[in-house]
Amino acid sequence: MSDIVVIGSFVADNVVTVKEFPKEGQTVLGDTFHVYLGGKGINQAVAARRAGCSVDMFGCIGNDSNGDAFLKLLEEEKIGLKGVKICSHIATSVAQIQINAAGENKIIVIPAANHAYDKKDLHDAEPYLKKAKMVLIQMELPQSINFETIEMCADLGIPVLLNPAPACPIPNSILNKIDYLTPNESELEILTGKKSSTLESVEEASQKLLDCGVKSVLVTLGKRGVYLSTNSQKKLFKGHSVNAVDTVGAGDCFNGVFASYLVRGKTIEEAIMAANAAAALSVTKHGSTPSFPYEEQINKYMQS
């Protein structure tokens, strides 16, 4: 049993780098192609583990070469894998990712095995949830699974961090059971129906989520940093200026590291600062999990 349980996705990322994104109907020549092991679930699990926490991962992979690679990654990172379901009838999820010269990205995800994780699998995970200090969820599994996980954790008294990506409307009956909600600007707009182009509008939209019962809202703003909103605190934590080459997985890195520092007794402010630093380090390298820093690297960067 581990400090953090991640219930989420596995996605094999097929990453192409290109100077400029093609316009509709246009063919362009790319620069490089790589396959990385990603998906918001496994990304956050690896980030949390490297930041110093024990982690158990729950989700579904196919009985294929990508699935085998994920099992190897879990073993190498020393992440608990007893909750990983292997399906013989469906492939491991894949994503097609384009990254331009500015480090911006466009992503298409094929859910495949991620959507084979069902309610029986979730209830089999309950003994692990009961022992966890925090449960991390994203939205690449079926929404029925995500929402039921939140309700289970609320009944068990286990704090939940939901990274609402890809975003969709969430009913108030679920929002009021979330301890930490971590949208980016576009996800915040989808969740609230409010524009979030300025800091003032981010604050207004965040307050709407607090009014619905969310305990803490952390809006990731890219290089501008992170905006924290609770009923007792509103604060912008500024981002770090780095040479970004690949922003894929930066948000996942933030979530995993934030959770890891928080469950080990750091304050929410300390956890945000560590997660901010880790996310900044991650965008200076290509790939999602290959770019995630370890605890000593995070602390060294903050000290410098």
Consult the annotation and say whether 287 binds a ligand: yes
Contact of 1 with 84, CB cutoff 8 Å: no
Whole-angstrom Cα distance, residue 97 to residue 220?
A: 21
285 appears as a binding residue in the annotation? yes
Render the burial of 136-169: b for 16+ CB within 10 Å, e for the rest. Answer: bbbbbbbeebbbebbebbbeeebbbbbbbbebee
Annotated binding residue 223: yes
- State the catalytic residue, choosing from 64, 121, 179, 252: 252
Interatomic CA distance for residues 12 and 14, integer angstroms: 6
Chain mean position to CA 155: 23
Is 38 one of the annotated binding-site residues?
no
DSSP letters, 194-262, are ---SSHHHHHHHHHHHHHTT-SEEEEE-GGGEEEEEESS-EEEEE------S--TTHHHHHHHHHHHHH
246 labeled binding residue: yes
Give yes or no: 121 in active site. no
Instruction: Flag whether 120 is marked binding.
Output: no
184 is in an annotated binding site: yes
Q: Is 13 annotated as a binding residue?
A: yes
Task: Confirm whether residue 68 is marked as ligand binding.
Answer: no
The annotation status of 49 as a binding-site residue, yes or no, is no
C-alpha pair distances (Å), 274 with each of 13, 143, 208, 228, 271: 26, 30, 27, 14, 5
Residue 249 assigned ligand-binding role? no
Separation between Cα atoms, residue 242 and residue 133, nearest integer Å: 33
211 is in an annotated binding site: no
Q: What are phi and psi of 57, to 5 degrees?
A: -110, 135
Is 257 annotated as belonging to a binding site? no
Catalytic residues: 252
- Annotation: binding site for ATP: 184, 220-225, 251-252, 276
- Annotation: binding site for substrate: 11-13, 39-43, 140, 252
- Annotation: binding site: 11-13, 39-43, 140, 184, 220-225, 246, 248, 251-252, 276, 282, 285, 287, 291
